[in-house]
Amino acid sequence: MDGQVISVYDPIVHKKVGEDDRDSDPPWVLCQRPCIRGGELAAALLELHYDDASGIDSAPLQMKANNGIFIIDDFGRQQMPPRELLNRWIVPLDRRVDYLSLRYGLKFEIPFEVLVVFATNTRHEDREPVASEEDLARAAQLYFATEEGRSARDLFPPGRPEFHF
Amino acid sequence: MTTASASRGAVGQRRRSACGSASIPGRRPVSLRSYWEAVKAQAAKPEVNRQVLQVAFSDMVTSESLLDQLGPALIEPSSIFLYVRPETTRPALLSGCCESIRMQF
């Protein structure tokens, strides 16, 4: 991008499948679909990180998770406040496009083909309201699955329209 | 040398320098357009069915109603909000979700 190289392949995240032919100098690495758990998520991990030594930008976590799963485990307990995370991702979740910027400010689009799983066991009553349920559900097209078989309407009764975390 | 070609030369130098670094040995960069095409072409379209879920969750005790909800959620190309009771092992449940998706590819 604009002469900058962004490194996406991460041996910790991407489990390589088979051996590639070194003579052909392939640009791609065949991997299993990535599954990332963002338990200790911080805002900086969702942006490009420039490495001075190599002159290469390291891809943010959601870019490394492309074509795979990104689990926000124990949602609400990350370093990054849930409201900030949702504000950062509400457009990517809706449009399947994310916007990154190089260190000198040039913005560009990348695909956001990630299955995001927000997982929590914090009870509804204990969660902090962070967004309108309707806004978030419409934008993120969230599919609600609860262990107790309750619907989203049960979790978010009409009298309490906020989305709680 | 014009300013434009000098700039291109600098970019090329930077790219060559980056490609020659130890962090990406043997890998040549692709264009952003190629990356877009590759990601879109490989967008996950999992075909999760009950049998897949039962295999993925075979090492834990789960209710049928949970699988009834997880199945459609994993098929849908949208995000999932998963509420798990505090006394349930959340990591095991998430591992089962990951496994059921990975079994498809």
Average pLDDT, chain A: 73
**Per-residue pLDDT tens for A55-64?**
888 899 999 9
> Is residue A1 less than 8 Å (CB to CB) from chain B?
yes
pLDDT confidence tier of residue B81, bands split at 50, 70 and 90: confident
At A147 the pLDDT is: 47
> Is residue A66 less than 8 Å (CB to CB) from chain B?
yes
ipTM for this model: 0.73
**Per-residue pLDDT tens for B23-68?**
454 577 888 898 999 888 888 666 777 888 778 777 777 777 777 7
Task: With beta carbons under 8 A apart, name residues in chain B contacting A4.
Answer: 14
At A109 the pLDDT is: 92
Which residues are CB-contacts of A68 (< 8 A; sequence separation ≥ 6)?
Answer: A33, A34, A35, A36, A114, A115, B44, B101
Which residues are CB-contacts of A53 (< 8 A; sequence separation ≥ 6)?
Answer: none
Task: With beta carbons under 8 A apart, name residues in chain B contacting A66.
Answer: 39
Task: With beta carbons under 8 A apart, name residues in chain A contacting B36.
Answer: 110-111
Q: Are A58 and A48 in contact (CB under 8 A)?
A: yes
Closest-CA residue of A relative to B87 is A121
Would you kindly state where each structural domain of chain A is located, as residue ranges?
6-13+32-164
At B95 the pLDDT is: 77
Q: Are B80 and B24 in contact (CB under 8 A)?
A: no
* Spans of chain A, pLDDT less than 70: 20-25, 39, 122-165
Q: Where does residue A23 rank: exposed (0-12), middle (13-18), buried (19+ CB within 10 A)?
A: exposed
Domain A6-13+32-164, what architecture? Answer: 3-Layer(aba) Sandwich (3.40)
* Spatial separation of the C-alpha atoms in residues A159 and B80, rounded to whole Å: 23
Beta carbons of B80 and A37 less than 8 Å apart:
no
Beta carbons of B36 and A111 less than 8 Å apart:
yes
